[in-house]
Amino acid sequence: MLLALVATAALSGRGAAEGGGTHTMTYIYHPPESSLDVRYLYHWEILRTALDKTTAKWGPYRMVPSELMTEQRQAFELKSGSGKLNVMYLGTTPDFEKNLIPIRIPVDRNLGGYCIFLIRDGDQKRFDSVKTLDDLRRFSYGLGLGWIDVDVLKANRFHVVTGSSYDGLFEMLVNKRFDVFLRAAVEVLDEYDRRKDTLRNLRIENGIVFYYPLPMYFWFSKNDEGRRLSARAEEGMRMMIADGTYDRIFDQYQRRKIERLRLKERRMFKIDNPFVGPETPFADKRLWFDPKTYK
């Protein structure tokens, strides 16, 4: 499916730029880690649509998958300007804010900041009695090595167990290496549906939503190429917000998940993210998902 998206992106960007330019702009992004990994289909669809909308002005483009990398490696390659990767989708950190160029539009409207627990069969009763953050601190939480969420949870005094393999984290959960695999609301249903027949002990916790602000941006290298690539993508994304395309794609990918997870009905527990910078666009409510007002 993602390969089809890339092919479509390359073809759809073959118009001529204003003024007769024909240079093809290349966006090198990180691909899925396995055939089960569908975490980023929505995000690359947002980027592809933004680039489509700017073809008349900026010219043709193509989206090319990079080699597989950890998130730490992606950030390293982007900061070094190596050319092995030139666009990255990750949550904000002080390091990224200092050394990279962000498009300050939370790609998933911070729906990813609303977290759902993957747990083991038989453990639901342990979570039914949770009433406070201190109750939640009794559990251990699985996350990927180098994931930004690790620092957020540790800063809030939660016990985190890390794993080096995304797919391996599901195995670690069912094998009791930790109590909770913390998953974003945008991810958890697809992940569960694709694994429930092979990992029969896997369950989605049914009463809690865990929230912290974690704006996930598109990031680019702090060089001339990065400035060009980011300027085009941001222009297209703002066009999408203005003409309603952003809303339509968000609804297409996320509405079913929001409704199936019953986000409005869950008990919400909020923690702070001390790594969110002062330039975060909290004032622009169009950019942020709120389960209480979403219709």
List the alpha helices (DSSP H) in 146-293.
148-155, 166-174, 188-195, 224-243, 245-261
- Give yes or no for residue 282 having a pLDDT over 90: yes
Q: Is 162 in the same domain as 91?
A: no
Q: Is 103 in the same domain as 246?
A: yes
Query: Could you read off the pLDDT of 186-208 as tens digits, one per residue?
Result: 899 999 999 999 999 999 999 99
205 and 118 Cβ atoms separated by less than 8 Å: yes
Q: What percent of the chain has pLDDT over 90?
A: 85
Q: Is 204 in the same domain as 220?
A: no
CATH code of residue 44: 3.40.190.10
Q: Is 95 in the same domain as 184?
A: no
Q: Is 192 in the same domain as 228?
A: no
Whether residue 273 is contained in a domain is answered as no
Residue 175 dihedral angles phi and psi, to the nearest 5°: -90, 15
Q: 255: closest CA among 196, 186, 207?
A: 186
Return the SS3 of 150: helix
CA terminus-to-terminus distance, the chain: 29
Q: Is 199 in the same domain as 227?
A: no
Whether residue 133 is contained in a domain is answered as yes
Q: Is 252 in the same domain as 124?
A: no
- Give yes or no for residue 1 having a pLDDT over 70: no
**CA separation (Å) from 35 to 2, 32, 38, 194?**
10, 7, 8, 10
Whether residue 173 is contained in a domain is answered as yes
Whether residue 270 is contained in a domain is answered as no
Q: Is 141 in the same domain as 100?
A: no
CA angle 124, 149, 216 (to 5 degrees): 115
105 and 279 Cβ atoms separated by less than 8 Å: no
Q: Is 78 in the same domain as 132?
A: no
Domain of 233?
2-110+215-264+278-287
pTM for this predicted structure: 0.84
1 and 41 Cβ atoms separated by less than 8 Å: yes
Whether residue 50 is contained in a domain is answered as yes
Q: What is the mean pLDDT of residues 180-185?
A: 96
- Give yes or no for residue 39 having a pLDDT over 90: no
Domain count, the chain: 2
- The lowest-confidence range among 12-26, 69-83, 181-195, 218-232 is 12-26
Cβ–Cβ contacts within 10 Å for residue 116, how many? 27
Whether residue 293 is contained in a domain is answered as no
Query: Could you read off the pLDDT of 104-144 as tens digits, one per residue?
Result: 999 999 999 999 999 999 999 999 999 999 999 999 999 99
- Give yes or no for residue 58 having a pLDDT over 80: yes
Boundary residue ending a domain (174, 195, 211): 211
Q: Is 92 in the same domain as 222?
A: yes
d(CA 166, CA 288): 27
Q: Is 228 in the same domain as 105?
A: yes
What lies within 8 Å, CB to CB, of 114 at 6+ separation is: 184, 185, 209, 210, 211, 263, 289, 291
Whether residue 251 is contained in a domain is answered as yes
Q: Judging by DSSP bridges, how do beta strands 140-144 and 159-163 pair with one another? A: parallel
Q: Is 78 in the same domain as 141?
A: no
Q: What is the mean pLDDT of residues 171-195?
A: 96
Q: What is the pLDDT at residue 32?
A: 85
Whether residue 292 is contained in a domain is answered as no
Return the SS3 of 59: coil
